[in-house]
Every structure is written in structure tokens, then in C-alpha cells.
Amino acid sequence: MQQDRETIAAVVVTYNRKNLLGQCLDSLFGQTQPLDAIYIIDNCSTDGTPDLLHARGWIATPEGRDDEVVEAIRPVAVPGSPNRRLEVHYVRLPENTGGAGGFHEGMKRATEAGFDWLWLMDDDLQAASEALEVLVRKKTALQEAHAEPFFLNSLALLSDPFDGDALAFPLQELSAVRDPKTGIHPVIRGACHWRFSEVRDQVKDGLYRWACLFNGTFLPARAVREVGLPNRDFFIWGDERDFQWRAARRFDQYTVVDSKVFHPLAHVMRFDWRQYYFIRNSFLVNRHFRHPTLRNLRLILLSLGLGLRHGRAGLTLMLRAIRDGWTGRLGKRDDLTS
């Protein structure tokens, strides 16, 4: 891709949420800083997602067998800029690979296509119209200041209910050695802040020094080449933290507080089969920190307590997560409800 300016591709991972996906894409097409491409990674949706996208004029009709990866590419005019087009890549996977598999596939494709920067999000994220423009301005300022290599992230505000202060994902506080202070589980507050007002005094030049990745994350393609792709075997939850901590020693990570995106309340607040993946994968994430054995023992105690509060089925689920996490057994579990 031979261009004088740096190019940007958004990567959006979706699964059976076509209406939310439509709203997400509307917000991307409405950016004051136009994108060069959008990669829509469809985890084998069964709700008519490609039909909606085709009806909106965003994708060509995908052709291919259900048991293979299918890609349809269409140049789409940017609203308000009829002479400018961006490429929409619709990629349908033959099975649900979770967020981990979706971001793995999308980041791989966008990087191999030669885009310079990637903007990462799930289908239930909506971006303020100037969100990308603010990120690009901050990127340029940091580059001109010869800053160390960095990621940027938009500030993810809770959209429902919206009060302009509640965060959809917590901002982590770090220790002096840049490990997380506490908060192994995101519903345990500790040093995880769920309101922007709690960290406002730590913002400098519009930046908070940490980020919650894959929710409006703006990163250079070089990071994928240097750090590697997200681990698809995580399936859901934890792949973004694993990728983040793999990158943390090479790239500074900031939340750009004036770049706003909006996200509904995350399902992590509810106890169901998804908690298996969070607990299991947390054992692998803990390898990145000091004293991983102590962290894992604390995780075991917290997980057992969580399981006991949800009866025999909850305890069985947590025991399975602990066993698989301790032994490093990853991958999608087809016998869990999904």
C-alpha cells in the first residue's frame, strides 16, 4: 500500500448482533477522520447479519461454502465525501471462534494488507463522530515529540445508563513496577476504577497511562509484527489482557480521554458460562506478573467463593475452570452454552 500518509483500518468482531453491528458501522462511517478500510469479522452469525449488511449497501453478497472462510470486499462511499471511498471487507468464519479468534483473524488480515494503524472494537461499541480524529491528533503529537512506541485507546463510557462519568470497563491502577495493584476479577473494585472522575487527577495532556484494550484500541501494525496476534485459544475474555501484557514491556499504553466511545454494560457482571473462560484464562494472564503462583492461589479462593454462591452447578463450573486454567488447557468448550 503505497501512500504518503499513514493508513487506518478498523477491525470489528461480530456475532449474532446485527442491529448493534449496524449502529457500530454507522458510527464508523460518520467519523470526521475517515477510515481507509473496515474489516468486519463475522463469527458465523445465524441472525441474518450478511443480509442486513448487503441491504445497507455495505458488502457484496458473500459466496462460498459454509465450512470455509468467505470474504466479500466492496468499496463504499464515505457519507459527506462522495469522492472518497473506503474498502469494507466482510469475512465470515465457518464457526464461532469468539472474540479472541475474531480479533486474531481481523488483525492478521489488516496487517498483511499493509495498513499502518488498526482501530479495534466489538460490534456493540459506538464511537463519537470525532473519536478517531482525536486519536490521530494525539498520535501525531506523540510522534512529533519522539515518544516511545505506544498504543492509544478511546475512553469507553457506559452507554446504558449514561451519565458521562461511568466507565464501561475499568481503568487499572498500576504498581511502581507496572503490575496491576489488585483486581484479579473485574467486579472486584480494588484499584480498578469504574468512574472517570476517580482518575481525572491522574490525566496529563489528555492521557491516562493505561488502557482497556480491544474497546476502541488504536495501535500500529508494527505491534502485531513485534508482539504477535491475540491467542485465539482463549476463545473469549482474557485474550485482550494477554495481548496487552505481552506488549506492555515494548509499548506505552494510554487512554485518550477526549476520544469517546460508548458501550453497554458488559456481561462480565453476570454469572454464567462465560465466567468459566474468564477464570480459566486468568491463570494464563497471571504468568505475565510477579508472583504468579500467589496470584493464582488468590484466584482459586475467589473463584471457589464465587462458585459456592451459585450452588452446585456454579461450583462445578468454577472447579472445571480452575483445573483447566492450572493445567493450561485452552480452546473452545463445545459443551458449554454459547
Residues 55 and 124 in one domain: yes
Residues 150 and 239 in one domain: yes
149 and 280 part of one domain: no
Tell me: do 311 and 195 sit in the same domain.
no
- Is 334 domain-assigned? no
Q: Are 50 and 59 in contact (CB under 8 A)?
A: yes
Query: Is residue 246 domain-shared with residue 274, that is, in the same domain?
Result: no
Task: Provide the pLDDT for residue 60.
Answer: 86
Please give the sequence-ordered ranges of beta strands (E in DSSP) within 61-165, or none if there are none. Answer: 70-78, 81-92, 117-122, 126-127, 150-158
Residue 154 lies in a domain: yes
Distance CA 89, CA 149 (A): 28
Residue 176 pLDDT = 62
Alpha carbon 303 to chain centroid, angstroms: 24
Q: Which of 250, 267, 284 is the last residue of a domain?
A: 267
End-of-domain residue from the set 267, 290, 305: 267
Q: What is the DSSP string of 223-274?
A: HHHHH----GGG-SSSHHHHHHHHHTTTSEEEEEEEEEEEEPPPGGGS-STH
pLDDT the model gives residue 185: 46
- Residue 18 and residue 10: Cα distance in Å, rounded? 17
CATH, residue 225: 3.90.550.60
Determine the pLDDT at residue 175. 65
Does 242 fall in a domain? yes
- Please check whether residues 289 and 146 belong to one and the same domain: no
Residues 254 and 322 in one domain: no
**pLDDT value at position 186?**
42
Q: Do 202 and 303 belong to one domain? A: no
Domain match, 171 and 199 both: yes
Whether 294 is covered by a domain: the verdict is yes
Whether pTM > 0.75 for this model: the answer is yes
pLDDT at 108: 98
Average pLDDT taken over every residue of the chain: 91
**pLDDT given at position 56:** 93
In a domain, residue 338? The reply is no
Half-sphere CA count of 11, side-chain side, radius 13 A: 28
Total domains in the fold of the chain: 2
Which residues form the domain of 281?
270-327
In a domain, 32, yes or no: yes
Domain boundary among 252, 267, 282: 267
- Write out the chain's pLDDT in tens, 338 residues: 445 689 999 999 999 999 999 999 999 999 999 999 999 999 999 999 999 999 999 998 888 888 899 999 999 988 777 778 899 999 999 999 999 999 999 999 999 999 999 999 999 999 999 999 999 999 999 999 999 999 999 999 999 889 999 999 999 877 666 666 654 444 444 478 999 999 999 999 999 999 999 999 999 999 999 999 999 999 999 999 999 999 998 999 999 999 999 999 876 667 899 999 999 999 999 999 888 999 999 999 999 999 999 999 999 999 999 999 999 999 999 998 65
Q: Are residues 302 and 201 in the same domain?
A: no
In sequence order, the β-bridge partners of residue 77 are 85
Tell whether 38 and 103 lie within a shared domain.
yes
Residues 62 and 195 both lie in one domain: yes
